[in-house]
């Protein structure tokens, strides 16, 4: 896995935007559609703003892009402002010019969430591989909403959030933990691994332990992020704070300084 260790969150955002824009431009040049995997949460927000800047100032076009979300809360009514579909439209896809019909996510409002999870897995398979999947990581190492203990081979399904994740996410619900749904539909770790390129961004010291465990710890369901070690093309973009527990930080910086131009992201 390529670990890109940079001083500031803003520099991280530019690298994530470069990776996404590279895929978009490559797909357009090849005349094909692009399947883009999107995470919600705080981590990718600066990168999303950078993509919007490139659209407005540099004419980066997202025409023909189909976007797929990682996860969704179960039980929030469709259109609830904190449903991940509403969040991603507000933060990114509306302003990118994507038709809402091209923004897909699990149907967390379904009366049958188990079936909705199966349907979403089927929809992802039919859409073809996700070309580039943007990821964040939880402080406990979760990827998507695959909490510690999740099968490394899992598919899209209903999961129960840990209390810590609900507490972490209460900030989006007026700091009311009780308002955070207990259940989610999330792409499984095996589902996420099908994407062609995984780009994970993490910033801030609160993520340092999870990042170190994912990159340098053992491959284990106890740290879902460690499943990245199985994927052939991972770009892990972290600021100095999130990378502060990495034992091989000096080496990652050395590799980055000596990266060949043709290596790309
Ligand atoms: C969001 C998601 C989660 C977040 C993670 C980090 O779609 O799947 O795994 O990426 O909880 O959240 P933030 O970025 O808010 O710290």
pLDDT, one tens digit for every residue, the chain (265 residues) = 999 999 999 999 999 999 999 988 888 788 878 999 999 999 999 999 999 999 999 999 999 999 999 999 999 998 899 999 999 999 999 999 999 999 999 999 999 999 999 999 999 999 989 999 999 999 999 999 999 999 999 999 999 999 999 999 999 999 999 999 999 999 999 999 999 999 999 999 999 999 999 999 999 999 999 999 999 999 999 999 999 999 999 999 999 999 999 999 9
Cα-to-centroid distance, 263 and ligand 1 (Å): 28
Ligand 1 nearest atom to the CA of residue 142, by list position = 9
Q: How far apart are CA 5 and CA 3, in angstroms?
A: 6
Pocket of ligand 1 (CB under 6 A): 39-43, 70-71, 136-138, 142-145
What does the pLDDT read at residue 25? 87
Cα distances (Å, whole numbers) of residue 244 to 207, 214, 230: 9, 13, 23
What does the pLDDT read at residue 210? 98
Q: How far apart are CA 246 and CA 5, in angstroms?
A: 10
Question: pTM for this structure?
Answer: 0.97
């Amino acid at each position: 896995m390529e670990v890109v260790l940079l001083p500031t969150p803003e520099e991280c955002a530019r690298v994530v935007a470069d990776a996404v824009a590279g895929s978009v431009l490559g797909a357009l040049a090849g005349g094909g559609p692009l399947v883009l995997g999107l995470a919600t949460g705080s981590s990718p927000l600066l990168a999303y703003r950078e993509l919007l800047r490139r659209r407005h100032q540099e004419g980066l076009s997202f025409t023909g892009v189909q976007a797929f979300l990682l996860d969704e809360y179960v039980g929030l009514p469709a259109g609830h402002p904190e449903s991940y579909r509403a969040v991603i439209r507000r933060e990114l896809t509306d302003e990118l010019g994507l038709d809402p019909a091209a923004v897909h996510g699990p149907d967390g409002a379904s009366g049958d969430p188990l079936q909705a999870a199966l349907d979403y897995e089927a929809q992802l398979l039919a859409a073809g591989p996700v070309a580039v999947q943007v990821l964040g990581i939880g402080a406990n190492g979760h990827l998507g909403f695959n909490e510690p203990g999740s099968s490394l081979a899992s598919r899209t399904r209903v999961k129960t959030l840990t209390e810590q994740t609900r507490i972490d996410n209460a900030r989006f619900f007026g700091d009311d933990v009780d308002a955070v749904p207990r259940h989610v539909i999330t792409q499984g770790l095996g589902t996420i691994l099908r994407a062609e390129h995984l780009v994970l961004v993490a910033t801030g010291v609160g993520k340092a332990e999870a990042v170190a465990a994912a990159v340098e710890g053992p491959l284990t369901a106890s740290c879902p992020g460690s499943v990245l070690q199985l994927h052939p093309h991972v770009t892990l973009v972290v600021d100095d704070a999130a990378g502060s527990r990495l034992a091989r930080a000096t080496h990652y910086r050395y590799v980055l300084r000596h990266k060949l131009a043709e290596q790309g992201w």
